[in-house]
Amino acid sequence: MKLTKRVWRASLIVLAVSVFALPVMAEEPIATDLAVAEADGYLGIWSLTVDVMGNEISLILTLSDVDGKVGATLDSEQQAEALAIPEISKTDDGGLELSGELKFGDSFSLDIIINIVKDGDDLRGKVVDTGGLFKADVVGTPLTQADVDEVQGRRPDPTEARLNVDGKKIRIGFADLSTGTSDWELFEKVGDGEVFKYTLSRATKMYTDMDMAFGDAVVKAGNVADDYPGVYSLWMKKVGDGWSLVFNSQPDIWGTRHVAEHDVAEVPLTSAEVDGDPQEKFVIELAHGDDGDATLTLRWGNQEWSAPFTI
C-alpha cells in the first residue's frame, strides 16, 4: 500500500516527537505589536502539552512584558535553550494567537500557529501547521520558575562560544562537525572562491549585542529589529591558499543552504598549523583583552583560523 505524501509527512512527525528540538541558541523575547494590557491573565510561564496523533510533545511557553509589549519564548527539555516567538495577536474570543516555528530534531521544521484561550486557571487551544499538514489540541498549565530551573538542569549543554563585555553578549552556536565524516571530506575539497557547505548540521549561528568591527567590515547588532541582537549565520570561504569568514543575514538554515546574496560581510582569517593531536571536533572560541580588542578563533583538524575585531 502506498502512503500519501500527507500521511508520510505526518508519520515523520510522530517519529520525530521523541527528538523534538528548538534551534540551538537562546533567544530573548521580542517585543511584538500586542500591548501587555491586551494580554491580561496570560503573562507567566506555561507548560504546553501538544497531542500529535496520540503522541505528546511537551513545551514551555513564557509570556512576558517587554517594554509594555508582549514577548514570548518556546522551550523544551530536549533542547539547549529557547526560541523567541516573533508574532502575537489578540483573537476575537479573547485568546492569543502566536506564530512561530517548530523544529523536529535536525530533520525538518514547520511554520505553526498556536491559538490559546484561558480556561479557568489553565489554557486550551490548537496548534496548526500553516502548510495544512496537521492540527493538534493544546492544553496549558501554569509553571513556576523553579519548575523551569529543574528542566534546565536536565537539558544538554549548548555548543557555544560566548563573550560578555559590560553586560552585553556575543554568542556563537557552532555546527557539530567532526573529522572522519563526509563533511570533513567536503571541507578538504573546497575550491578557491567556494563556501564550505556541510550536510550533517545546521549552519553556525551568531547573536551579538554589540557592533563587531573587523577592520573596515562592521557586523552590526540590530539587523533584525531595533534593540535586538544582530543575528547571522557564519561560513568559511576558501580564498586562494587561505580562508575568509562570511557573515550572512539568514541565520536559521541548514549547512548546505548558503545564499551569497544575503552575505553582509567577509573578513580575512589568519591561518596557522596546530602542533599535537588533531582537533577532532570543530570548535569556535571568543576572547577579549583588557585593551578592548577581541579575537574570534576557529579550530578543526590540525588548523587554526583567527580574526581580530573590536567592539
Domain borders along the chain are 5-152, 160-310
**Domain 5-152 sits in which CATH superfamily?**
Quinohemoprotein amine dehydrogenase alpha subunit, domain 2 (2.40.128.120)
Taking CA atoms, 74 is separated from 187, 188, 255, in Å, by 34, 38, 23
Residue 172: how many other CB atoms lie within 10 Å: 22
* pLDDT, tens digit (0-9, with 9 covering 90-100), for 185-227: 999 999 999 999 998 778 899 999 999 999 999 999 988 877 7
Q: Are 43 and 97 in contact (CB under 8 A)?
A: no
pTM of the entire structure? 0.58
Q: Are 120 and 41 in contact (CB under 8 A)?
A: no
In 158-241, the DSSP E strands lie at 160-165, 168-173, 204-208, 212-214, 217-219, 230-239
Beta bridge partners of 49: 58, 139
Grid coordinates representing 183? 563533511
Average pLDDT over all residues of the chain? 83
Q: Are 59 and 75 in contact (CB under 8 A)?
A: yes
Give burial (CB, 10 Å; 0-12/13-18/19+) of 176: middle
pLDDT value of position 31:
84
Grid coordinates representing 216? 573596515
Query: Can you tell me whether residue 149 is helix, strand or coil?
Result: helix
Q: Which has the closest alpha carbon to 212: 295, 305, 115, 281?
A: 295
Q: Mention every residue, 6+ apart, whose C-beta is less than 8 A from residue 253.
A: 202, 203, 233
Residues of the chain with pLDDT under 50: 1-8, 10-26, 105-107
* pLDDT, tens digit (0-9, with 9 covering 90-100), for 227-267: 788 999 999 999 999 999 999 999 878 888 899 999 999 99
Rounded Cα distance between 89 and 147, Å, is: 27
Angle at the Cα of 198 from the Cα atoms of 264 and 5, rounded to 5 degrees:
105
